Amino acid sequence: MATSKIRVVDIHTHMYPPSYIKILESRSAIPLVRTFPQAADPRLILLEAEVKSLEEATQDATAKLPGRPLTSHFASLAQKVHFMDTHGIVISVISLANPWLDFLSSSESGKMAESVNEEFSRMCSEHPGRLFFFATLPLTAPLETLLAAVSHVQGLKYCRGIILGTTGLGKGLDDPALLPVLEAVAAAHLTVFLHPHYGLPNEVWGPRASAEYGHVLPLALGFPMETTIAVTRMYLAGVFDKVRDLRMILAHSGGTLPFLAGRIESCVLHDGQLVREGKVGKGRRTVWEVLKEQIYLDAVIYSEVGLKAAIDATGADRLMFGTDHPFFPPLETDEQGEWESVSLNAAAVTKAVGEGSGEASAIMGGNAISILRLDQD
């Protein structure tokens, strides 16, 4: 990456620690890891959209392989550091990848969260100053366990926030039962990194998708729409007003929020029910205001067009570079070399705000260092 003198920080970068991979290997429903005689690497199968091809490959050894190869990039810390060094990344804020602990029973998730968070903490301590992490919460556990998990991760030296999916306790992020958790997270000064996993229902993609369109529809459209819907529900439920100290980084530059915020605003203003119920009166913070006051966006959008919309929506001082490593590896060049998915995001920043500009330096690392306190141990 052409980023001389800039301290590059990657805030969107995942891992599955070995203990988590073990659980996936033992499972028969997604998420799971499965080996196939025709492939060298095991396959990591995560998404609902991959279930059909999993069934087909299980029955027919000539069928296309489901999911994605589970390479060393997913679980090896040495590989993460090699990736950072290859791309000039000085600091990474690592997080467990989707679907986190969502599939564990309420009796299992508390213990697993504790051990995964300790494992991330240990990994960070092996590279002091270079690695920080977003912790994982046991969302299927009882409230008491969840709140204890927030206290636990607050005390972990390298923890700077929590990674959160869109399901919350099972009913979404506008669920009033989730408020005590969001309040505890905000009070602990932990930034939420909101990340999608479930996308949209499979039927939306049509009957040709599984055989012909690869992962494009669920990843390019399902993920961003999921984030957009989750945050809009939070906004409509007044969650941002109820938890004013809540700070959220939205994955993939906020899904489609920067583009759709104006339409959301207009729909609110013109909604008879909301107006009748007094929800559109004086004192209401607009979506735009919430975006500028409580939301940060990552810069994982791969083009300057999307990035400019993100900058317009929240301000260049609220955007943070990310790679989405270990997802989107190069398919035709060496995985140990430079990744095109990374250079696309870096180039988008340069094209949007100008090479060597103060804004470029802020987005590529400066913002993350100050927002996530990465210059403090």
Residues that bind ligand 5CU (CB under 6 A): 14, 46-47, 68, 97-98, 215, 219, 324, 327
Cα 191 to Cα 185: distance, rounded to the nearest angstrom: 8
| Smaller CB separation from ligand 5CU, 226 or 324 | 324
As measured in angstroms, the least distance from the Cβ of 163 to ligand 5CU is 10
Which residue's Cβ lies closest to ligand 5CU?
327
As measured in angstroms, the least distance from the Cβ of 311 to ligand 5CU is 22
| Smaller CB separation from ligand 5CU, 196 or 365 | 196
As measured in angstroms, the least distance from the Cβ of 300 to ligand 5CU is 9
As measured in angstroms, the least distance from the Cβ of 280 to ligand 5CU is 35
As measured in angstroms, the least distance from the Cβ of 374 to ligand 5CU is 21
- Sign of the four-CA dihedral 33, 195, 157, 188: negative
Q: What is the largest CA-CA distance in the chain?
A: 64
Strand partners, 133: 94, 159
As measured in angstroms, the least distance from the Cβ of 260 to ligand 5CU is 21
| Smaller CB separation from ligand 5CU, 159 or 163 | 163
Strand blocks (E) in the chain:
8-15, 32-34, 43-45, 68-69, 89-96, 131-136, 159-164, 191-194, 248-250, 295-298, 319-320
Contacts of 180 (CB under 8 A, 6+ apart): 143, 147
Please give the single-letter amino acid code of residue 77: L
Rg of the chain over Cα atoms, rounded to whole angstroms, equals 20
As measured in angstroms, the least distance from the Cβ of 40 to ligand 5CU is 19
User: Sheet of 32-34: strands edge to edge?
Assistant: 32-34, 43-45, 68-69
**Cis preceding linkage at 330, omega within 30:** no
| Smaller CB separation from ligand 5CU, 68 or 152 | 68
DSSP state of 218: I
Q: What is the dihedral of CA 193, 97, 198, 322, to 10 degrees?
A: 50
Cα 299 to Cα 231: distance, rounded to the nearest angstrom: 17
| Smaller CB separation from ligand 5CU, 32 or 46 | 46
| Smaller CB separation from ligand 5CU, 194 or 347 | 194
As measured in angstroms, the least distance from the Cβ of 227 to ligand 5CU is 11
| Smaller CB separation from ligand 5CU, 46 or 363 | 46
**Contact yes or no for 321/368 (Cβ under 8 A):** yes
| Smaller CB separation from ligand 5CU, 70 or 372 | 70
**Contact yes or no for 100/163 (Cβ under 8 A):** yes
